[in-house]
Amino acid sequence: MTKTLVKLPFVVVKAFWEGLTEEDASTPDPDGSSFKEELKEAAKKGYERGLKDTQIDAGTIEAPEPPPAPAPTPPKAVEETFSTSTLSCERFEVSVDACIDYVDKKGNETRRDITTEEVYEYEDGVLVIRAFCHRRKDYRTFVSKRIRYWVNSSNGKPININELPRYLRDQSRLDLNNIQFRIISASRNEQVVFTDIAGRFTKNVYQTRTGSKRYRLPLQLADKLTEFVFHTEEAERALGGLNQTRRKAVHELVREEIRSRTSDEARLFLSKSSLKRTPLKRRKDFIDFVFSAFEGKPEQASIVQILTDELLDPSFKIEREKLPLEGLKEYLAKCEKEKQQTVADIKAESEDAEKKLVEVAKTTSPKNETRKRASLLTSELNVVRNLARNECQTQLLQNLANGVMVFERKPFEEEIRKMVCALLKDKEINKYADLLLPYLGNGIQFGYLDVGLKKKNRGWYLNEDGVVVIDLNNINHD
């Protein structure tokens, strides 16, 4: 990594490396410079400006007083515990109203009346909560280690801070968007493959703002894919316990998501590779669905034959767990060649989503479902997460192609963060300031999942020297 990448204009990054330990901050880069030290120094310069914008006077808050509670820790300089720079994180949605006491980095305690929206849960238990602040009428970010008190605004019940992760998780299971996400994720590979091949044969071409072409499903085929996805075994498990009204609401969310999908070269390559390694019955069920979806159409025979050749080839029954290397180097070369175009498309999609949110926000409240979906869309299409996701999966596949199967996780993720920041402009870094670190962590997590690395399958683990390593031998696609 050269100094050109290291010495970026990071003055606007207020929270990117907030909370680094002295040991972390002194870790040198490969070229002898200290990347983290520069970021930490830059954060100090820009922090005071951001602090003034986020602080709320506890004496003027309009929220009701919470019930009596055990005396909180006296306000003081809070010991920094948010040192998550080398941890990926899982994102989930949850909408709850709360009144909280919060201590910022300087030890100032304030009271906030908030509605949560997104939670980023790190592996060490730290939560980063994105919530709408009703006092500021804007979104703010809160770190769980600095929350001193939490009261459920709907019933006045205090929540034990130590139980906050479990409480938010329990509440998230009732969120229809989370149920929709689980249903969509369960058959993601089939959706990507079907969208691409159906879009190509029906010549349903979508042109991005930057001029690149993508394919998408005609509405009729999108609705058929929705029914296929909605009636899988995984979907039935996710829908368990929901009444008919809520089932219909989830069905509408799934259909809306599938209708908006377009083909993507990276997803297509990985989805085909993954689908080839799933159980034979699953692949046959998918081809049967494709056959019925194109019934009566002239392209039916061609599409079914292509998928049969690709997915039912007997050679794929051997060593199912290993990702095939055929075409991998050619794919990576193509990714490198089209990298700038991909970055431009991701940024353009994010800008479009932000414009839609601005329009929706003019007429709807934060609790409105339309506004919530528009807000979540900006998160799904944001620059930081998707760039981190692309960079992570590309580098993992590059290591696989080069035969580098086991490597340290910490420097790998640090390199991904540097590469993503090198692709961002000042205004983009500033735009995601408080959520830059969680967005990067969540993007890296998705990159692992795209390639087939899961912690529960020992995608990464402590080696005999006590170092966390990633092991590409443990790629799993089931």
Q: At what angle do helices 176-186 and 244-260 cross, to 10 degrees?
A: 60
pLDDT tens sequence across 326-350: 678 888 888 888 889 889 988 888 8
pLDDT tens sequence across 221-239: 999 999 999 999 889 988 8
Q: Is 359 exposed, middle or buried (0-12, 13-18, 19+ CB in 10 A)?
A: exposed
Torsion of CA 313, 314, 319, 325, to 10 degrees: -30
Reply yes or no on whether the pLDDT at 448 is more than 60.
yes
Q: DSSP string covering 185-231, please? A: HHTHHHHHHHHHHHHHHTT-EEE-TTS-EEEB--HHHHHHHHHHHHT
Strand partners, 133: 114, 138
More confident residue, 296 or 27: 296
Under DSSP, the state recorded for 424 is -
Q: How many helices (H) and strands (E) does the chain have?
A: 19, 12
Decide: 56 and 111 in contact? Cβ < 8 Å: yes
Reply yes or no on whether the pLDDT at 67 is more than 60.
no
When pLDDT is cut at 50, 70 and 90, the band that residue 98 belongs to is very high
- pLDDT for res 305: 93
- pLDDT for res 23: 31
Query: If we measure between CA atoms, which residue out of 363, 419, 379 comes closest to residue 395?
Result: 419
pLDDT tens sequence across 297-317: 999 999 999 999 988 865 544
CA angle, residues 326, 207, 347, in degrees to nearest 5: 80
Domain boundaries, the chain: 1-53, 60-158, 187-263+278-320, 331-474
Reply yes or no on whether the pLDDT at 150 is more than 90.
yes
Among residues of the chain, what percentage have pLDDT more than 70?
Answer: 76
Task: Give pTM, 2 decimals.
Answer: 0.70
- pLDDT for res 324: 54
Specify the 3-state DSSP secondary structure of 46: helix
Mean pLDDT within 393-416: 92
When pLDDT is cut at 50, 70 and 90, the band that residue 177 belongs to is confident
Mean pLDDT within 34-46: 42
What CA–CA distance (Å, rounded) separates 251 from 245? 10
Mean pLDDT within 269-291: 89
Specify the 3-state DSSP secondary structure of 131: strand
- pLDDT for res 276: 84
What CA–CA distance (Å, rounded) separates 157 from 151? 6
Of 83-97, 260-274, 313-327, the one with minimum mean pLDDT is 313-327
